Amino acid sequence: MSDSFLADWVYTDTVKEHFMNPRNIWKKYENWTPDASGEVGSLACGDQMRVGIIVKDDRISDIRWLTYGCASAIASTSMMSELAKGMTLAEAYNITPAMITDALGGLPEHKFHCSVLGDKALRAAIDNYLESRNLPNPYKKSVAKIICECKGVTDQMIEELVVADKAKTIDELKQLTGFGTGCGKCVNKVTQYFEEMKHIHNK
């Protein structure tokens, strides 16, 4: 391997370690049954992800994952699984892409989106766990961020409308939420997030 190749390698040692030796992989023939699982992304786009969790005393006692993607996707999901293990459901639900990236020592800017799927697949698994047991989910509101201040539209609201197939186009989203009908400053941000959610949830 040439010195020039190593010099051009843009990943940190931590990213390389988690890519070469990923933790908590969901092995096909492993006798492991999760309490709940969540899946996001699209196999057609090469970044599908599944996360399974086992919960004891309101904490994630064990976690496994599968993903199709690049070194960043593998490393970031491996790190996410290490962060989540032992956390309460509330703590795990609040893991952010920035937390994962910081723990890895950073990612190239154009690869940052690869860490987004890990936290969302984990949240989907927690959602599935609570829903399957008819338990309340107080965590969604805690992570919701307002994108359109004039109409009080949150990122969580947009994601739920996409997942439920109630907003298949940006025009439908506008009719349902009224975003952009106030000051209009949110239009680009809402549109970008809407397209991201369609991609992540394969809509």
User: Which residues are known catalytic residues?
Assistant: 45, 114
Phi, psi at 27, each rounded to 5°: -80, 140
Q: Cα separation of 196 and 47, whole Å? A: 13
Beta strands in the chain (DSSP E): 36-40, 49-56, 59-67, 146-148, 153-154
Neighbours of 40 (CB within 10 A): 26
- Sequence length of the chain is 203
3-class SS of residue 21: coil
Sheet of 49-56: strands edge to edge? Answer: 36-40, 49-56, 59-67
Beta strands in 6-102 (DSSP E): 36-40, 49-56, 59-67
3-class SS of residue 73: helix
Neighbours of 168 (CB within 10 A): 12
- Nearest CA among 79, 95, 75 for reference residue 87: 95
Q: Cα separation of 50 and 34, whole Å? A: 12
